[in-house]
Structure 1
Amino acid sequence: MQAVIMAGGFGTRLHPLTEQTPKPLIEIFDRPVIDHCLAMLLRAGISRIGITTSNLSEMVDEHVKGWVNRGLVKEVHVTVEETPMGTAGGIKLMQDWIEDTFVVVSGDNLTSFDIAPLVRMHETRKADVSMALWEVEDTSEFGIVDCDAGGRIVRFQEKPAPGEEFSRLINAGLYIVQPNVLEQIPETDPCDFSRDLFPSMLRAGQKLYATSLQGTWYDIGRHSDLARSQIEIASGQSHLVEGIHLEGSLVKRESWQATTSRVASSASLECSIIHPGASVGEHAKVSSCIVMRGARVEEHTSIQGLIIPPGHTIGPIDTPSMAGALAGHLAR
């Protein structure tokens, strides 16, 4: 089985973090978000990976080709969208490379599932498309899905207004697809899976199935989401799929610290994430924060609910804006 990771998003809501770094390369704990997708696929035994890119494509291309050099995958095939073609339109560019049933996953979200049950459903039902579902509290920014007792999709609803949703199960952006479905995607016009292709297939009576999966899923489209995902995983409120290990150490008070970071013994961490190469000085107090790669929290500095971007420094007399800090976990 092959897989395609969609990695063409612009991540505009994450600015300034994504102004010079493509969203799939934003780090979550010890690795870029796209590497969490890779870990999930490798766990499922998939090592032929396609990547669709657009924004800052050269950076994504260099990073994913490193997977081959490190022996993580057998093959990486990269395509570049010169103009936005939509989620399905981007996959259409892969048509000559795709040979068999394939997995599609969004490289813009933190996705860590055990996909084996979805593969079994797809094969057993002889589906055209099988979709992963995830339950959320607020469905207003997502497409929701309704299935019959056997898991066959019977209707979609795109971004329902509060109180109008018929379900809290959303399309999690992970699909198993038969290669002949690619024939239904137009060559030249933009086409989106959830808005265009899947509703068209449903109307035509094609076999679309869906099921909820074990693991975790986060939309990391905002600074607050980026922070919340890591803090909730570190505190045990949610879990990466079994078998995926972070190269770091869990420390007291529901915080996580990378092994290559440095936290002074007199510093206080609470519900915070310290990325590789970051440091926290003596007597600093860090609560509900993300201190990203190479960032520094100087001694005697107290911060709460912030993201300190890569390479930035915040000191005891700095305001968050002076240090380039971003409102994170406590933002609303």
Structure 2
Amino acid sequence: QYFGDGHRWGVQIGYAFEGVREQGEVVPRPFGSAGGMRRIQDFSGFFDETTLVLCGDAIIDLDIGAALHEHKAKGAIASVVTLDVPPNEVQNYGIVVADEQGQIQSFQEKPQPSEAKSTAASTGIYIFEPAVLDLVPPGRVYDIGSQLFPQLVAQQLPFYAQKRFFNWIDIGRVSDYWTVLQRVLSGEVAQMNMPGREVKPGIWVGLNTQIPWDQVSIEGPVYIGSSVRIEPGATIIGPTWIGHGSHIRTGARVARSILFEYTRIAADMRFTDMIVSPTYCVDRAGDTLYRGDETAQLRWGDARA
């Protein structure tokens, strides 16, 4: 409902309608990564030119133009962008095995280091020609990695791996999300600039903040969003992100943490290595506490309440 067909944003957006209506309710029935694309194609003919497929749980700074050029130069029907990983980490990835020309020969799904035939990890970034979707059976659950790609290899179609060097930062887990935000705040992620105005080295501030600078301790890198209120005696240690409308009470200490918008930290509380919202907080391991939990030693809430 929010994005619609994309015309507000200057783009075209297509959708895969993957479900059925039973007893007046819509019941999801996913068609898989490839089956969903085929469903969009059958509905609207959406993919009428070379298509870049991206996963939604990673931050990347890939040179897309260079990747498209190599794809076209090789006459590929499909390309997989890969990134070399350390040999002792191959068990965390889908591994791509290709010949010297880059033509893909096989795949290994999270092999043990002693069994890995390559260190080229699939990044979940693909380039497809429209003809690829003709190989996906209509109306069926079909997966890109486990079904479509083996089919391309079996038919010996021009299917290539591209080794690229770029930042590929997975944010699929809570610990990954926390780590990425720490890196963004530290300036380690290309093309991601801090918002607000840098009022002191490593400290960025939005509009209409209430901060008694001579009565608080703030060590960057820290971002403080608009309309944030920080009371005297509070301590902020970076990398920390404080979402707009938040309120940090007297004596509170927030270190290496992410505060979502409108989060209130109670007086004298200590939050370290946490992701905090008005209703819950999550530590780096993914363990969650909810506001009002009598067993929780931390106290926080909604700054609007």
Normalising by structure 1, we get a TM-score of: 0.67
CA distance in 1, matches of 2:193, 2:283: 28
User: Against the structure 1 CA distance between its residues 325 and 113, is the aligned structure 2 distance closer, same or farther, given a 3 Å change threshold?
Assistant: same
Offset, 1:110: 2.1
CA RMSD of aligned residues (A): 3.4
Shift of 1:86: 1.5
- 1:180 aligns with 131
Partner of 2:22: none
- 1:111 is displaced (CA, Å) by 2.9
Distance in 2 of aligned mates of 1:239 and 1:328: 24
- In the alignment, the residues of structure 2 paired with residue 215 and residue 280 of structure 1 have an alpha-carbon distance, to the nearest angstrom, of 38
Amino acid at match of 1:146: V
Of 14, 17, 21 in structure 2, the residue corresponding to residue 77 of structure 1 is 14
* 1:132 and 2:81 aligned: yes
Partner of residue 234, structure 1: 185
Instruction: Show the counterpart of 2:151.
Output: 200
> Paired residue for 2:71, among 107, 122, 126?
122
Cα drift, residue 292 of structure 1: 4.3
Deviation readout 1:135-181 (Å, 9 max, x if unpaired)? 44533332121333322222211122355434333211111101111
Residues 5 and 12 in structure 2, CA contact (< 8 A), matched pair in contact too = no
Report whether the alignment pairs 1:93 with 2:39: yes
Q: Which amino acid aligns with 1:325?
A: C
CA separation of 1:267/1:121 partners in 2, compared to 1, >3 Å: closer, same or farther?
same
Q: Secondary structure of 2:132's match?
A: helix
Unpaired runs of 5+ residues, structure 1, are 1-60
* Conservation of the 8 A alpha-carbon contact between 1:132 and 1:174: yes
Letter paired with 2:34: A
SS of equivalent to 2:80? strand
Match of 1:327 in 2: 283
In structure 1, C-alpha distance between the alignment counterparts of 2:110 and 2:198, rounded to whole Å: 37
The aligned amino acid for 2:10 is V
**AA in 2 matched with 1:89:** G
Residue identity opposite 2:218 in structure 1: S
Conserved? CA contact 2:5–2:13, under 8 Å: no
Asked if residue 189 in structure 1 is aligned to residue 172 in structure 2, the reply is: no
Give the distance between the partners of 2:176 and 2:16, measured in 1 at CA.
Answer: 28
Task: Give the number of the structure with larger relative contact order, counting CA–CA contacts within 8 Å between residues 6 or more apart.
Answer: 1
Contact 1:89 1:191 in 2 (8 A): yes
Q: Secondary structure at the match of 1:194?
A: helix
For residues 233 and 101 of structure 1, do their structure 2 counterparts lie closer, same or farther at Cα, with a shift above 3 Å needed?
Answer: same
Paired letter, 1:111: I
Moved more, 319-328 or 215-224: 319-328
Contact 1:109 1:218 in 2 (8 A): yes
How far is 1:77 from its partner?
2.5
**Matched residue SS, 1:325:** strand
Whose Rg is larger?
Answer: 2
* Aligned equivalents of 1:77, 1:88: Cα separation in 2: 14
- 1:175 and 1:141, CA in 2 relative to 1: closer, same or farther beyond 3 A? same
Cα distance change, pair 136–93 in 1 and its aligned pair in 2 (3 A): same
TM-score (norm 2): 0.72
Identity of aligned residues (%): 23
Q: What is the rounded CA distance, in whole Å, between the counterparts of 1:251 and 1:112 in structure 2?
A: 28
Change (3 A) 1:125 1:187: same
Who is 1:147 aligned against? 98
Question: For residue 139 of structure 1, what is the amino acid of its counterpart?
Answer: V
Q: Aligned in 2, Cα 1:89/1:271: closer, same or farther, shift over 3 Å?
A: farther
1:297 aligns with 2:243: no
- Amino acid paired to 1:144: I
- Change in Cα spacing, 1:275 to 1:177, as seen in structure 2 (3 Å) is farther
Number of residue-to-residue matches in the alignment: 264
Report the residue type matching 1:201 in the other structure: L
Q: Which residue of 2 aligns with 1:39?
A: none
Given residue 68 of structure 1, which amino acid in structure 2 is its aligned partner? H
Deviations 1:206-236 (A, max 9, x none): 1111223354222211111012112223324
